[in-house]
Structure formats: structure tokens, C-alpha cells
Amino acid sequence: MIPIKTDAEIKCMREAGRVAATILDKMVAAVAPGISTYELDQLGARFMEELGATSASYNYKSGKHSYPCYTCISVNEELVHGIGSLKKILKQGDIVSIDVAVFYNGFVGDNARTVVLEPVPANILHLVKTTEEALYVGIAQACPGNKLGDISSAIQQFVEKNKLSVVRDFVGHGVGRDMHEEPQIPNFGKPKTGPILKAGMTLAIEPMVNLGSHKVELLSDGWTVVTADRKPCAHFEHTILITEKKPEILTFLKK
Ligand code: MF3
Ligand code: CO
């Protein structure tokens, strides 16, 4: 069963979304040549503390390994769940994905963005722009009466039309009191399949897109996911609410 949030829960989800988006925005502003991914993660932890949020990723358990960082920072061939390191110092030409998932007043806001440290080649800008657009293409399908597969297939078709590949091994997800709720939201699939979407569902839609092959591998640290061909990749994510009208992006920062 996909949970339908009550009005009270939606109010909390809006706040959690706003806080998650604020933290991601502040971290993105700190991305610059010379900063290590460890320092960037620590900065994220500090922003969480200042805003009264806690990390949903820190100590998150999957299998044997609990996740050791407050945010996920993944560079170049790293797709998701990169681990901050003092030795990993950002430099010109890097592609940096930051994923911020926080608890705020008992609810989770989850969002991610990929930024580049200019200058980067045109194919990298195409990769990043297409992945961001794919997120909005997917969100546009999040309407009552549509099916989950409509989101998945819209993302896949858009990405493949742009000569890039969608990752199969990691998916978006329902989000609420827990970071991962039903349903799983693949970035590939067939239209008009899967569960019917309803107002009140809150979903984290997150296209992960590779420049080369769609295949990924897990590094021996048990967390870092890299592209199998070690080519660059990108990742964008929003937490959204399905409404009777247009989907509401809960992690969209109004400035
Ligand atoms: N925020 C990620 C997601 O979109 C997961 C957090 S990373 C983990 O689902 F380390 F906690 F798994
Ligand atoms: Co997520």
C-alpha cells in the first residue's frame, strides 16, 4: 500500500522539504575548487544542526555497513552514496552530486543535485542538463489517475532520446516518516503500468543518468556506487506531493 498523507502530515512534509532544500542549496553554494568532500559533508551537518534537522543518511543501515556520513557526496564516476574524504579535494572539471535527506519534526525531506566545476566539456553539460530536465519530465507525470509507470517511462524515454542511459540498479521511492516508503520508483519502465497515483502521495523522484553504459558497481567500502565504465554520471532528486492539480515540489526553494 502506498501511504496517502493527511493534511497534517502534508504540512510537516512541506517543512521537511523546505529544510532539506535549504541545506542542499547552502552546500551547493560551498562547492568550489580546494574544498574536500569531508569538509563539505561536515558543513552539511552544521547546516542541519542550525536548522534543527538531523541526517536521515547518517548511520543508515543496508546489509553490514551503516552509512558514515551526513550527506552523500559523489564525484565524477561516483553516482550515489559517495563517502566524504579529506583526501578527495574538489578541482576544476569535477562533477559533484550532493544528496541531502533529513528528518525534520518527524518527517523526511530528500533532494539531490549535480553541479559542475567549470570548465567542463559540452557532453558533461548535456549530461547534467538532461538529468535535471528528466526529473521535471518525470514530475509532470505525477498526477492523480496516471500510473507509476508513466513517471518511469517518461524519464527513460527522455534520457534515451538524449543519447544517455538510465541506471537500473537504484530507484526513487515513496517518502514520509521514513526515508524509504512504498513504492519503488524506477527511472525506466512502461507507461500505463503499476499502481495508480493518488493525491496525497509523497514521492522522491530521482533520475540517475550515465554518460556511457547504464551499468554500475559497488566499491569495496560497501557504499560508493560508481559507473562500471568509470564515465561520468549525474543525479537530481526532488520530494514531491501529488495533488488534484499540478504536483507540488516540496524541495523547491522559493527565493
Ligand atoms: N538520500 C538517498 C536516497 O535518495 C539515500 C540516502 S543515502 C544512505 O534515497 F546512505 F542513507 F543510504
Ligand atoms: Co531519495
The protein residue whose alpha carbon is closest to atom 11 in ligand 1 is 57
Whether 181 is in the pocket of ligand 1, judged by its Cβ within 6 Å, is no
Whether 150 is in the pocket of ligand 1, judged by its Cβ within 6 Å, is no
pLDDT digits (tens, 9 = 90+) for 213-234: 999 999 999 999 999 999 999 9
Ligand 1 atom with the shortest distance to the CA of 180: 9
Q: Where are the beta strands (DSSP E) in 24-125?
A: 54-55, 61-62, 65-66, 72-75, 78-80, 95-104, 107-116
Distance 233 CA to ligand 1 centre (A): 17
- Best mutation site among 171, 179, 185, 208 for ligand 1, i.e. most ligand atoms within 8 A of its Cβ? 179
Give the ligand whose atoms come closest to the C-alpha of residue 223.
Answer: 1
pLDDT digits (tens, 9 = 90+) for 50-62: 999 999 999 999 8
* Residue 55 CA, distance from chain mean position: 14
pLDDT digits (tens, 9 = 90+) for 69-123: 999 999 999 999 999 999 999 999 999 999 999 999 999 999 999 999 999 999 9
Distances (CA, A) of 71 to 80, 118, 188: 10, 23, 26
> Percent of the chain, pLDDT > 90?
97
Could you write out the three-class secondary structure of 122-145? HHHHHHHHHHHHHHHHHHCCCCCC
CA-angle at 78, arms to 123 and 157, nearest 5°: 50
Whether 79 is in the pocket of ligand 1, judged by its Cβ within 6 Å, is no
Rounding to the nearest 10 degrees, give the CA dihedral for residues 206, 55, 195, 156.
10
Q: Which grid coordinates belong to 24? A: 542542499
- Best mutation site among 81, 113, 135, 221 for ligand 1, i.e. most ligand atoms within 8 A of its Cβ? 81
Ligand 1 atom with the shortest distance to the CA of 237: 4
Helix axes 122-139, 148-161, angle to 10 degrees: 160
Ligand 1 atom with the shortest distance to the CA of 101: 1
Task: Concatenate the DSSP letters of all residues of 144-210 into one string.
Answer: TTSBHHHHHHHHHHHHHHTT-EE-SS--EEE-SSSSSEEEEE-SS--TT-SSBP-TT-EEEE--EEE
Q: Hey, where are the domains in the chain?
A: 7-249
Instruction: Give the count of alpha carbons within 13 A of 63, CB side only.
Output: 5
Whether 60 is in the pocket of ligand 1, judged by its Cβ within 6 Å, is yes
Q: Is 116:95 a contact under the CB 8 Å cutoff?
A: yes
Instruction: Using pLDDT thresholds of 50, 70 and 90, give the confidence band for residue 44.
Output: very high
7 φ, ψ (degrees, to nearest 5): -60, -40
Query: How high is the pLDDT of residue 186?
Result: 98
- State the DSSP code for 103: E
> Percent of the chain, pLDDT > 70?
100
Ligand 1 atom with the shortest distance to the CA of 99: 1
Nearest to 133 by CA among 117, 154, 118: 154
The protein residue whose alpha carbon is closest to atom 7 in ligand 1 is 57
Q: Which CATH number fits domain 7-249: 3.90.320.10, 1.10.150.120, 3.90.230.10, 3.40.50.300?
A: 3.90.230.10
Q: Which grid coordinates belong to 248? A: 507540488
